[in-house]
Amino acid sequence: MTQNNVKIVASNKQAYHEYFIEEKYETGIELIGTEVKSVRMGKINLKDSWVDISNGQIFVKQMHISPYEKGNIFNKDPLRVRRLLMHKKEIDKLLGLVQRDGYALIPLSVYFKGSLIKMEIAIAKGKKLYDKRDADAERSAKREISRELKSRNQY
Protein backbone atom coordinates (compact mmCIF):
# COMPACT_ATOMS: atom_id res chain seq x y z
CA MET A 1 0.00 0.00 0.00
CA THR A 2 2.84 2.45 -0.59
CA GLN A 3 1.74 3.72 -3.98
CA ASN A 4 1.71 7.41 -4.74
CA ASN A 5 -1.19 9.26 -3.08
CA VAL A 6 -1.62 6.49 -0.46
CA LYS A 7 -0.54 7.12 3.14
CA ILE A 8 -1.02 4.33 5.69
CA VAL A 9 -2.28 5.66 9.03
CA ALA A 10 -2.72 2.43 11.01
CA SER A 11 -2.20 -1.26 10.36
CA ASN A 12 -3.26 -4.40 12.20
CA LYS A 13 -0.03 -6.41 12.28
CA GLN A 14 -1.46 -8.90 14.77
CA ALA A 15 -4.06 -9.97 12.17
CA TYR A 16 -1.36 -11.66 10.06
CA HIS A 17 -0.24 -13.61 13.13
CA GLU A 18 -3.74 -14.66 14.22
CA TYR A 19 -5.35 -15.39 10.82
CA PHE A 20 -4.79 -16.80 7.35
CA ILE A 21 -5.76 -13.92 5.03
CA GLU A 22 -7.94 -15.18 2.15
CA GLU A 23 -9.17 -12.07 0.28
CA LYS A 24 -8.76 -8.33 0.76
CA TYR A 25 -11.31 -5.58 0.08
CA GLU A 26 -11.22 -1.78 0.16
CA THR A 27 -14.00 0.12 1.93
CA GLY A 28 -14.76 3.68 2.90
CA ILE A 29 -15.47 4.68 6.51
CA GLU A 30 -18.28 6.94 7.71
CA LEU A 31 -16.62 9.34 10.20
CA ILE A 32 -17.56 12.53 12.07
CA GLY A 33 -15.43 15.69 11.62
CA THR A 34 -13.37 15.45 14.81
CA GLU A 35 -12.67 11.76 14.13
CA VAL A 36 -11.18 12.69 10.76
CA LYS A 37 -8.84 15.13 12.50
CA SER A 38 -7.76 12.45 14.98
CA VAL A 39 -7.12 9.97 12.16
CA ARG A 40 -5.02 12.59 10.36
CA MET A 41 -2.93 12.84 13.53
CA GLY A 42 -2.55 9.03 13.60
CA LYS A 43 -4.59 8.50 16.78
CA ILE A 44 -6.25 5.26 15.68
CA ASN A 45 -5.93 1.67 16.91
CA LEU A 46 -7.14 -1.43 15.05
CA LYS A 47 -5.76 -4.05 17.45
CA ASP A 48 -9.00 -5.57 18.82
CA SER A 49 -11.36 -4.42 16.08
CA TRP A 50 -13.56 -6.63 13.92
CA VAL A 51 -16.14 -6.25 11.16
CA ASP A 52 -19.80 -7.28 11.38
CA ILE A 53 -22.60 -7.43 8.82
CA SER A 54 -26.14 -6.74 10.00
CA ASN A 55 -29.32 -5.60 8.22
CA GLY A 56 -27.51 -5.44 4.87
CA GLN A 57 -24.93 -2.97 6.19
CA ILE A 58 -21.33 -3.50 7.25
CA PHE A 59 -19.89 -2.07 10.49
CA VAL A 60 -16.50 -1.98 12.18
CA LYS A 61 -16.60 -2.54 15.94
CA GLN A 62 -14.05 -1.88 18.70
CA MET A 63 -11.92 0.39 16.47
CA HIS A 64 -10.48 3.03 18.79
CA ILE A 65 -10.14 6.60 17.51
CA SER A 66 -8.86 8.87 20.27
CA PRO A 67 -10.88 12.05 20.89
CA TYR A 68 -9.55 15.18 19.19
CA GLU A 69 -7.96 17.46 21.80
CA LYS A 70 -9.62 20.63 20.54
CA GLY A 71 -12.95 18.96 19.73
CA ASN A 72 -14.68 19.53 23.13
CA ILE A 73 -18.46 18.84 22.76
CA PHE A 74 -18.17 17.55 19.18
CA ASN A 75 -16.10 14.50 20.16
CA LYS A 76 -17.84 11.13 19.92
CA ASP A 77 -17.27 7.91 21.86
CA PRO A 78 -13.82 6.53 20.87
CA LEU A 79 -15.15 2.96 20.52
CA ARG A 80 -18.43 3.73 18.77
CA VAL A 81 -19.64 1.47 15.96
CA ARG A 82 -18.74 2.96 12.56
CA ARG A 83 -20.40 2.11 9.27
CA LEU A 84 -18.25 1.00 6.36
CA LEU A 85 -19.15 2.04 2.82
CA MET A 86 -19.41 -0.73 0.22
CA HIS A 87 -21.74 -1.66 -2.62
CA LYS A 88 -24.70 -3.86 -1.74
CA LYS A 89 -23.46 -6.69 -4.02
CA GLU A 90 -20.07 -6.71 -2.29
CA ILE A 91 -21.70 -6.81 1.16
CA ASP A 92 -23.91 -9.73 0.12
CA LYS A 93 -20.85 -11.58 -1.25
CA LEU A 94 -18.96 -11.00 2.01
CA LEU A 95 -21.94 -12.20 4.03
CA GLY A 96 -21.95 -15.47 2.09
CA LEU A 97 -18.21 -15.93 2.58
CA VAL A 98 -18.28 -15.16 6.31
CA GLN A 99 -21.05 -17.66 7.01
CA ARG A 100 -18.61 -20.47 6.24
CA ASP A 101 -17.25 -22.15 9.36
CA GLY A 102 -14.20 -20.51 10.93
CA TYR A 103 -14.12 -17.38 8.75
CA ALA A 104 -14.23 -13.77 9.97
CA LEU A 105 -13.98 -10.24 8.62
CA ILE A 106 -11.11 -8.27 10.11
CA PRO A 107 -9.67 -4.81 9.38
CA LEU A 108 -6.07 -4.83 8.14
CA SER A 109 -5.26 -1.16 7.69
CA VAL A 110 -6.59 2.39 7.53
CA TYR A 111 -5.07 4.73 4.98
CA PHE A 112 -5.57 7.93 3.03
CA LYS A 113 -6.18 7.53 -0.68
CA GLY A 114 -5.90 11.10 -1.88
CA SER A 115 -8.08 12.97 0.60
CA LEU A 116 -10.38 10.01 1.36
CA ILE A 117 -9.99 7.71 4.35
CA LYS A 118 -10.17 4.05 3.33
CA MET A 119 -10.01 0.78 5.24
CA GLU A 120 -8.67 -2.51 3.97
CA ILE A 121 -10.63 -5.46 5.34
CA ALA A 122 -10.02 -9.16 4.79
CA ILE A 123 -11.83 -12.47 4.86
CA ALA A 124 -9.69 -14.48 7.25
CA LYS A 125 -9.62 -17.94 8.77
CA GLY A 126 -8.32 -18.29 12.33
CA LYS A 127 -4.99 -20.02 12.84
CA LYS A 128 -4.59 -22.88 15.27
CA LEU A 129 -1.76 -22.79 17.80
CA TYR A 130 0.39 -25.21 15.79
CA ASP A 131 -0.04 -23.01 12.67
CA LYS A 132 1.29 -20.03 14.62
CA ARG A 133 4.27 -22.10 15.80
CA ASP A 134 5.03 -23.19 12.25
CA ALA A 135 4.87 -19.59 11.01
CA ASP A 136 7.18 -18.43 13.83
CA ALA A 137 9.67 -21.23 13.11
CA GLU A 138 9.66 -20.42 9.39
CA ARG A 139 10.18 -16.71 10.09
CA SER A 140 13.09 -17.35 12.47
CA ALA A 141 14.70 -19.78 9.97
CA LYS A 142 14.55 -17.13 7.22
CA ARG A 143 16.05 -14.60 9.63
CA GLU A 144 18.94 -16.96 10.46
CA ILE A 145 19.60 -17.65 6.77
CA SER A 146 19.70 -13.95 5.93
CA ARG A 147 22.06 -13.25 8.86
CA GLU A 148 24.38 -16.04 7.74
CA LEU A 149 24.40 -14.80 4.14
CA LYS A 150 25.04 -11.25 5.29
CA SER A 151 28.00 -12.35 7.46
CA ARG A 152 29.51 -14.37 4.59
CA ASN A 153 29.21 -11.47 2.15
CA GLN A 154 31.18 -9.08 4.41
CA TYR A 155 34.51 -10.81 3.81
Question: What span, in angstroms and rounded, lies between the C-alpha atoms of 119 and 84?
Answer: 8
Burial class (CB in 10 A: 0-12, 13-18, 19+), 151: exposed
Q: What is the pLDDT of residues 18-27, one digit of tens each?
A: 888 888 999 9
- According to the model, what pLDDT value does residue 87 have? 92
Residue 109: closest CA among 122, 94, 127: 122
- According to the model, what pLDDT value does residue 155 have? 61
Question: What span, in angstroms and rounded, lies between the C-alpha atoms of 121 and 106?
Answer: 6
Residue 25: closest CA among 109, 102, 127, 83: 109
Domain boundaries of the chain, sorted by first residue: 6-127
Regions of the chain where pLDDT drops below 50: 2
70-80 burial, b if ≥16 CB within 10 A, otherwise e? eeeeebbeeee
Q: Helix-strand-coil percent breakdown of the chain, rounded to 5?
A: 35, 35, 30
Question: What span, in angstroms and rounded, lies between the C-alpha atoms of 43 and 57?
Answer: 26
| Domain 6-127 bears CATH identifier 2.40.280.10 | yes
User: How far from chain centre, in Å, is Cα 144?
Assistant: 29
Count of other CB atoms within 10 angstroms of residue 50:
16
